[in-house]
Amino acid sequence: MKFKTTPYHHDLLKDKDRLSVFWQAIQEYDSSTELAYDLGCGSGVLSYFLSSKFDEIIAIEMDNKASKCAKDNLADFGNVKVINGNVLDYEFSKKADLIVCEMLDTALVDEEEVPVLNYAKQFLKEDGKIIPQEIINTAELVNLERHHIHWDEDVNYEVFSKPVVYSQINFLDDINPDFKADLKLKTNRAGLINGLKITTYTKLDDNIIAGPTPMLNPPLLVPLPDKQVNINDFINVEIKYIMGNGIESIETRYL
């Protein structure tokens, strides 16, 4: 099936690794199949995946152009209803068996996954499920070329520690978007550090964990003040951000 897309959603569709893990998680879903919500449906590809498994799919997309693409793409599927609107303003009338929400980004800082799910979960059945299921965040000490927050896309940096898991967020839980963590990282080489590398792994279901892909949570590089370190030093760093408020909300400091 050929999909009409916006330029941004065209890039999403080109990321076959991202698409394949969501397709697999939806195919492996094994529970009640009456109603699914696809929140932030974009061009509608995940609703297309859902259409063969569910009696009814309600797909919501705020962007006007993307929503029009989804309506055109899914026009022949009688069990899919596409709504152009903000999930936070939508009046849900029924509880769903499954919520699919792919408003993901690294550490959930930029996109609205957390506020949307915190609202929409009240319209999930007691035994309902969410895809993706959770995320796992890791941090590493690095030396950066660029001294501003940026994505790990064709940039050079040196890694100075093993990755440490600093948070795991299950989307069925109530999530406080005001995040703060104290990291304890051990250097594995001597030299100059001046940043953190944040990597997010996405747990689609009990069996599928996806690493970063070009359009699914590429690692984020966050600057720190310059600091000379020796091998096996312990470096303590505080990181704070507001999930859904953008990368500008990230604050870091040495403790």
pLDDT tens for each residue of 128-139: 999 999 999 999
pTM to 2 decimal places: 0.95
Domain with CATH 2.70.160.11 in the chain: 134-254
pLDDT tens for each residue of 149-173: 999 988 999 999 999 999 999 999 9
Contact status, residue 41 vs residue 69, Cβ threshold 8 Å = no
Question: What is the average per-residue pLDDT within 1-19?
Answer: 86
| pLDDT confidence of residue 12 | 82
Q: Cis peptide before 214, with omega less than 30 degrees from 0?
A: no
pLDDT at 247 over 90: yes
Quick one: pLDDT band at residue 204, thresholds 50, 70, 90? Answer: very high
**Rounded distance between C-alpha atoms, residue 199 and residue 221, angstroms:** 9
The tokens of 173 are what?
Answer: 């839980």
Q: DSSP letters along the chain, please?
A: -PPP--HHHHHHHH-HHHHHHHHHHHHH--S--SEEEEET-TTSHHHHHHTTT-SEEEEEE--HHHHHHHHHHTTT-TTEEEEES-GGG----S-EEEEEE----GGG-SSSHHHHHHHHGGGEEEEEEEES-EEEEEEEEEEESS-S-EESSS--EEE-B--EEEEEEETTS---SEEEEEEEEEBSS-EEEEEEEEEEEEE-SSS-EE--BTTB---EEEEEEEEEE-TT-EEEEEEEEETTS-GGG-EEEE-
Lowest mean pLDDT: which of 11-15, 164-168, 179-183? 11-15
| Consecutive H or E run containing 140 | strand 134-144
| pLDDT confidence of residue 224 | 98
Pick the CATH number of 134-254 from 1.10.760.10, 2.60.40.10, 2.70.170.10, 2.70.160.11: 2.70.160.11
Pick the CATH number of 7-102 from 3.40.50.150, 3.40.47.10, 1.10.150.20, 3.60.15.10: 3.40.50.150
| pLDDT confidence of residue 59 | 98
Identify the bridge partners of residue 13 per DSSP, sorted by sequence position.
none
Question: What is the average per-residue pLDDT within 191-215?
Answer: 96
Domain with CATH 3.40.50.150 in the chain: 7-102
